[in-house]
Structure 1
């Protein structure tokens, strides 16, 4: 049995590929917030460099397994060094790997399911919607537009199935998107504080 971990200061920023996620995270980093980099992109770069097989267009299942394990390790490492107060932003979480497994019709093991149910990020997940005008492919991103839209839909379903609430980030400038995320977190913090005070 995997022990329960709840980290309300761990915020996921996710969405389909090419939706401005990394740009938003870089803006939050510029504003002095801690950012946890995306596992998938780093894994792909590493495998391409080393002629590895753990690639989504080579060995999907191996890619899925390594990506999930590294996401869990990343969560655990950040938790050890977290002060549990200031928001920490994750470029995707291990539930994204579960979404990927569903997309490729691969097995979601009991172990994966147990981590998803027991190791919790903040219940509010910031999701960036498909945005055709800014979408571009590159060496690590090869999905067509149809896949991008399907990924967004499946990702929303996956997070909701595990009890998360989707907060859709508007299609605006990077500065406005960062403002939206931080203002939502602050407003939610105030509401929770008031609610707790009422129940004392």
Structure 2
């Protein structure tokens, strides 16, 4: 299986792009942090990211989702990865947890994801949501933290510039065609 990560600034359009890739027949995995936040908010916690265990909840859900069985040769796109969770941890000013450290080691040792990471660039603004309460300026800081984290872990960033959804999906498919394993 070829597992690719889509990452980038909050509000860059990753979820919309993933929906387009799914429409084109690819398997996709939703972002874990958004789902952890939604679940906690539904339980009455308005800002779950302020809790000490938040990062570990996100990384645990990411691991569960990455373990989903799929067909050999299938291409799957993941909305973020534990490397993103490392950037989030840094952004929140939290110490590294044993769970996150172990998961980062595991995904590197086991080559869980492809080394090419699609870095979806910001659209020039951020639309706030219940789960996304970040200014555009902070989102750009977060974007830089993601770039550093992925490079530090040995991934190669493939720039997906601001553009229409179809154009971004076409770019990703062109990269897939160039990086397809030879048979």
Same fold (TM over 0.5): yes
Question: Secondary structure at 1:166's aligned position in 2?
Answer: strand
Equivalent residue, structure 1, for 2:128: 137
User: What does the per-residue CA deviation read over 1:148-183, in whole Å, with 9 as the maximum and x for residues that have no partner?
Assistant: 101111101101111100001021110010010011
**1:95–1:116: 8 Å Cα contact kept in structure 2?**
no
Question: Secondary structure at 1:70's aligned position in 2?
Answer: helix
> How large is the RMSD of aligned CA atoms in angstroms?
1.8
Equivalent residue, structure 1, for 2:119: 127
The answer as to 2:43 corresponding to 1:92 is: no
For 1:180 and 1:152, the matched residues in 2 are separated by 20
Q: Which of 30, 34, 39 in structure 1 is aligned with 2:32? A: 39
For 1:186 and 1:162, the matched residues in 2 are separated by 25
Q: Structure 2, unaligned stretches of length 5 or more? A: none
Aligned residue-pair number: 179
| TM-score normalised according to structure 2 size | 0.90
**2:82–2:104: 8 Å Cα contact kept in structure 1?**
no
Equivalent residue, structure 2, for 1:3: none
- Cα distance change on mapping 1:117 and 1:54 into 2, 3 Å: farther
Q: Which of 174, 178, 181 in structure 2 is aligned with 1:183? A: 174
Segments of 4+ in structure 1 off by > 6 A? Answer: none
- Cα distance change on mapping 1:180 and 1:147 into 2, 3 Å: same
For 1:106 and 1:119, the matched residues in 2 are separated by 26
For 1:32 and 1:111, the matched residues in 2 are separated by 33
